């Protein structure tokens, strides 16, 4: 593996660092939260720019409305809460006031997926990407580690339009470059290969790289592509890779309906029909458990990715 784990960090801390940096770069950046300042690592921003921080309390719908109002006045608001609460609980406000209204609101969604762990199904979300990518005009970003989340947050602040930025609670390997430039809409080739393409997003990117190492030991050369931006999808990168390898696996910490797997399947069906396999949560709610245990139980880890790759290669 050409990537090295430089120390485990949570991606929510990458968001906090990126928010602070964006705030230093642009005085229009403001932050709002629904009583989760500490959980979203907004403390440094709030301490440094108290006049640009709004504590909305446990009132997510109101928070989105306030954010939309601030955006209309020329501010760049980041409205943050747990992914479950800032999507499902306030979908109407996001649809009407952010996307239909074309306001420059950034929705910061922490504790996404099942790796929230012990908080259980009511706080976990495995359907948020489906909700957000269905909205016209919404950009959906799901970075893979601390460094990429920081860079993606800074890029989101510079982008003019609605953005859904998804990140998590557990400490995970930090392996992408520290001073990277994040480009919205670009897929990143992490490992070149010729036998199968593994598309991964968020926490599954590291798992995909580990799977590629397992496959290499068996003489299989897997290409790993980090889909950091789910919408707009880098369709050209998807098609070019599968034209080379002839088979695809899509790994995501999300359910099958409305996820990255269905999105890539649609692109390939139209432009390059190929054997595909999916590594995701299926069609289930979360449950209580340790993050790594849940990833294994739901079949979203390196071992399952490697097995899916071998299965799909057999179908070529």
Residue 169 · residue 202 · CB < 8 Å: no
The mean pLDDT values, 10 residues at a time, for the chain of 316 residues are 90 98 98 96 97 96 98 98 96 97 97 90 94 98 98 98 97 95 97 98 98 97 98 98 98 97 98 97 94 94 98 95
Helix (H) or strand (E) holding 164: strand 163-166
pLDDT in tens, 91-101: 999 999 999 99
- The CA distance from 186 to 8, in Å, is 25
- DSSP alpha helices (H): ranges in 52-119? 60-72, 91-93
Per-residue pLDDT, 1: 67
- DSSP alpha helices (H): ranges in 165-301? 204-216, 235-245, 260-271, 291-297
Instruction: Kindly compute the dihedral angle of the four CA atoms of residues 31, 162, 169, 20, in this order, to the nearest 10 degrees.
Output: -40
- Nearest to 131, CA basis, from 159, 93, 158: 93
pLDDT in tens, 176-196: 999 899 999 999 999 999 999
- The CA distance from 73 to 70, in Å, is 5
Instruction: Please report where in the chains the tokens 């109002």 appear, as a residue.
Output: 69
- Nearest to 85, CA basis, from 109, 53, 114, 54: 109
- Nearest to 114, CA basis, from 104, 106, 125, 122: 125
φ, ψ dihedrals at 235, nearest 5°:
-65, -35
Instruction: Please report where in the chains the tokens 């598309």 appear, as a residue.
Output: 199
Active site residues: 60
Extract the tokens encoding 287.
């449950």
């Amino acid at each position: 593996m050409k990537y090295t784990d430089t120390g485990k960090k949570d991606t929510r801390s990458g968001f906090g660092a990126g928010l602070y940096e964006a705030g230093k770069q642009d005085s229009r950046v403001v932050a709002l939260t629904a009583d989760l300042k500490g959980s979203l690592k907004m403390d440094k921003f709030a301490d440094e720019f108290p006049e640009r921080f709004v504590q909305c309390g446990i009132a997510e719908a109101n928070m989105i409305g306030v954010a939309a109002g601030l955006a209309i006045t020329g501010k760049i608001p980041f409205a943050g809460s747990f992914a479950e609460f800032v999507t499902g609980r306030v979908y109407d406000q996001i649809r009407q006031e952010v996307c239909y209204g074309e306001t420059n609101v950034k929705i910061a969604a922490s504790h996404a997926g099942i790796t929230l762990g012990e908080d259980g199904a009511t706080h976990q979300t495995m359907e948020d990407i489906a909700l957000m990518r269905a909205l016209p005009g919404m950009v959906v970003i799901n970075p893979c580690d601390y460094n990429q989340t920081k860079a993606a947050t800074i890029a989101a602040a510079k982008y003019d339009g609605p953005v859904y930025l998804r990140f998590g609670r557990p400490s995970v390997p930090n392996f992408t470059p520290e001073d990277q430039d994040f480009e919205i809409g670009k897929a990143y080739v992490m490992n070149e290969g010729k036998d199968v393409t593994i598309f991964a997003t968020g926490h599954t990117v590291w798992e995909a790289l580990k799977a590629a190492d397992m496959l290499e030991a068996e003489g299989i050369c897997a290409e790993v592509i980090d889909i950091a931006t789910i919408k707009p999808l880098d369709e050209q990168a998807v098609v070019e890779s599968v034209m080379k390898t002839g088979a695809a696996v899509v790994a995501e910490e999300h359910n099958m309906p409305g996820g990255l797997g269905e999105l890539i399947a649609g692109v390939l069906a139209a432009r390059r029909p190929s054997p595909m396999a999916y590594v995701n949560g299926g069609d289930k709610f979360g449950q209580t458990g340790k993050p790594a245990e849940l990833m294994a139980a739901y079949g979203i880890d390196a071992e399952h990715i490697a097995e899916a790759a071998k299965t799909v290669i057999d179908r070529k």
